[in-house]
Amino acid sequence: MNTFTSDPRVVITGLGAISCLGTGVAAHWDGLLAGGGQPAEVPLPHLNMRTRKMYLVDRAQVPAKPSRFAGLELGSSPRLAVAAAEQALTDAGLEYGTRDAVPVVLGVELGNADMQEIQRSAGRTAWTTLTPAAAVVGAEIGSRAPLTSVGNACSASGYALTIGLDMIRAGEATTVLVGGAEGITRAGIGAFNRLGAADPVRCRPFDRSRAGTMFGDGSAMIVLEAAEHARRRGAEPYAELAGAAWSCDAYHPTAPDPSGDQIVRAMTEALADARLSACDVGCVIPHGTGTPLNDVVESQALHRVFGERTRALPLFSLKAMIGHTTGAAGAFACLTATLMLRHGRSPANTPIEQDPECDVWVPQGRSVPLAAPAVLVNTYAFGGNNTSLVIKDAVGEHAEGAR
């Protein structure tokens, strides 16, 4: 039973990140302000395909351990997950020995694929478990609570965040570690090359020359906590996860529904869950993958939710900075939204030549102050799996250095 009835809010008290921008939350924010990362050649053999680049974590910053778990050899994804989890829990003030009741909910799609591909390239025919990260993280942090791996493609960690939110609201936990992690993968890149959805240049959402998406690896972790529990132990929250909603197009295995009805529904219901209106949103982090149809449909859907205000509402195109981190994309977007609220602004976007069919505001050349106290995050996936999340200033203020 939930004992925190006097304050039902769910807040964010810890953050951890490793991406092409570096290790740690400060490196992530500084990297965004500096214009984001650059794609690099993937260090795997047999890349016989048109697009062979990703936004890669510096290989020197990929942790070497844990290298094995329960007899399973671990690739980069679970190792990145463990490192980012430790960052987030330490940031929240939850030291080892106090984490046994903390559930772990991770969005992981391609997961341990790099280890599987290395083994098969060496002639080993046994298949390796693809998604061990939640179990590995749980063991490493000392959790004895439920461990959940969500694998519904590129919205996986968006769904994971809603699961963590529901667990706290239902009184199943006071604190939940939520996030996502992905490693490099030849199979994933190959699949998008075959679909004709892999951009050989970079990830260019809303650009008239966009030619698909480009992947990135890394891990983002977020500590969700009942607001009253955080207050009792003296933790200062970054922000509030105020609302979330799911929807499903069920339209096509890979393409979005051109009507955009279900992504409008997800955004509208997330705002209703947060008890906010469209006017309370100061920035949107769109799904924005760089695929031609997705960016147009999402732009049109934003107009249906925000009306005439859409042209004055800043969008921050995160995937142009760190690539499409697939199952971890929602967690990276939520972490970035949280930092925007902390600093009171949206970084400048990577310069683009904007597609006139994407009639949205993608500010370039300068950062933009947040004019309202909430950020809307969208994450979509193959199969029409949609999630929208609303992150809100925890104290109603978003001045630089408020934390």
Query: What DSSP string describes 126-181?
Result: SPPPS--HHHHHHHHHT--S-EEEE-SGGGHHHHHHHHHHHHHHTTS-SEEEEEEE
Same domain, 94 and 16: yes
Query: What DSSP string describes 65-87?
Result: ---EETTEE--HHHHHHHHHHHH
Among 182, 108, 178, 104, residue whose Cα is nearest residue 144: 104
Same domain, 247 and 190: no
Q: Which of 28, 203, 283, 324 is catalytic?
A: 324
Residue 28 appears among annotated catalytic residues: no
Boundary of a domain, candidates 210, 232, 254? 232
Mean pLDDT of 296-314: 97
Same domain, 81 and 165: yes
Same domain, 199 and 288: no
Q: Which of 20, 154, 283, 358 is catalytic?
A: 154
Torsion of CA 267, 271, 273, 274, to 10 degrees: 140
Does 2 map to a domain? no
Same domain, 317 and 209: no
Same domain, 191 and 261: no
Same domain, 200 and 255: no
What local confidence, expressed as pLDDT, does residue 5 receive? 61
Q: Which of 229, 287, 343, 398 is catalytic?
A: 287
Segment 205-219, tens digit of pLDDT:
999 999 999 999 999
Segment 88-117, tens digit of pLDDT:
999 999 999 899 999 999 998 888 888 888
- Tokens, residue 40: 């690099």
Residue 203 appears among annotated catalytic residues: no
Boundary of a domain, candidates 205, 232, 259? 232
Does 400 map to a domain? no
Same domain, 15 and 164: yes
Q: How many distinct structural domains can be found in the chain? A: 2
Among 331, 106, 57, residue whose Cα is nearest residue 218: 57
Residue with tokens 């050649």: 41
Does 4 map to a domain? no
What local confidence, expressed as pLDDT, does residue 4 receive? 55
Boundary of a domain, candidates 185, 210, 232? 232
The whole domain housing 359 covers 243-393
Residue 389: C-alpha distances to residues 30, 231, 258 (Å): 24, 23, 22
Dist. CA 311–CA 295, nearest whole Å: 15
Does 75 map to a domain? yes
Same domain, 163 and 30: yes
User: Which of helix, strand or coil describes residue 54?
Assistant: strand
Residue 154 appears among annotated catalytic residues: yes
Same domain, 210 and 352: no
Instruction: Tell me the average pLDDT of the chain.
Output: 92
Dist. CA 14–CA 327, nearest whole Å: 20
Bond before 314 cis per omega within 30 degrees: no
Q: Which carries the bigger pLDDT value, residue 326 or residue 2?
A: 326
Question: Quick one: pLDDT band at residue 3, thresholds 50, 70, 90?
Answer: low
Does 3 map to a domain? no
Same domain, 210 and 256: no
In eight-state DSSP terms, residue 338 is H
Dist. CA 118–CA 148, nearest whole Å: 26
The least confident of 71-80, 148-157, 183-192, 227-236 is 183-192
Q: Is 287 left (phi over 0), alpha (psi -120 to 50) or beta?
A: alpha
The domain that holds 131 is classified in CATH as 3.40.47.10
Which H/E stretch holds residue 89? helix 76-91
Is 26's pLDDT higher than 50?
A: yes
Does 5 map to a domain? no
Same domain, 306 and 268: yes
Single pTM value for the model: 0.95
What local confidence, expressed as pLDDT, does residue 113 receive? 81
